[in-house]
Amino acid sequence: MSIEAWKQFYQLLEQDKTLQQRLTAAYHRDMAIALLIQLGKEKGYSFTASDIEKAIASARRELSESELEAVAGGQGMAFPQPWMQLLISSP
């Protein structure tokens, strides 16, 4: 169980349209996390909800200056996948 395993799975997820399609079944944050863990296991990855949460928190801290300006300016940030919007929403 590790954040590294999550990051590796996430890279796969970005490329795999079938996995992305399966995630459309998630309609709230906890369901998205549980489904990500399940799909990760199916592909041989082992990570926990805590690993996902830590990676999300880390990504939030790493926003670029231009991204911060866009959010501060009211432009917001677009995420192409609805399940990603569920993940970044506050718990």
Task: Give the pLDDT score at 16.
Answer: 92
CB atoms < 10 A from the CB of 86, how many?
19
- DSSP code string of 49-68: HHHHHHHHHHHHHT--HHHH
Q: Which helix (H) or strand (E) segment is 72 a member of?
A: helix 65-72
Q: How far apart are CA 27 and CA 31, in angstroms?
A: 7
Q: Which helix (H) or strand (E) segment is 8 a member of?
A: helix 3-15
Task: Give the pLDDT score at 76.
Answer: 47
Task: Give the pLDDT score at 67.
Answer: 57
pLDDT over 60 at 13, yes or no: yes
The residue ranges of every structural domain in the chain are: 3-88
pLDDT digits (tens, 9 = 90+) for 25-56: 888 889 989 999 999 999 999 999 999 988 88
User: Is the whole model's pTM more than 0.75, yes or no?
Assistant: no
**Residues 49, 33: contact at Cβ < 8 Å?**
yes
Q: How far apart are CA 33 and CA 38, in angstroms?
A: 9
pLDDT digits (tens, 9 = 90+) for 67-89: 555 555 544 444 456 667 667 66
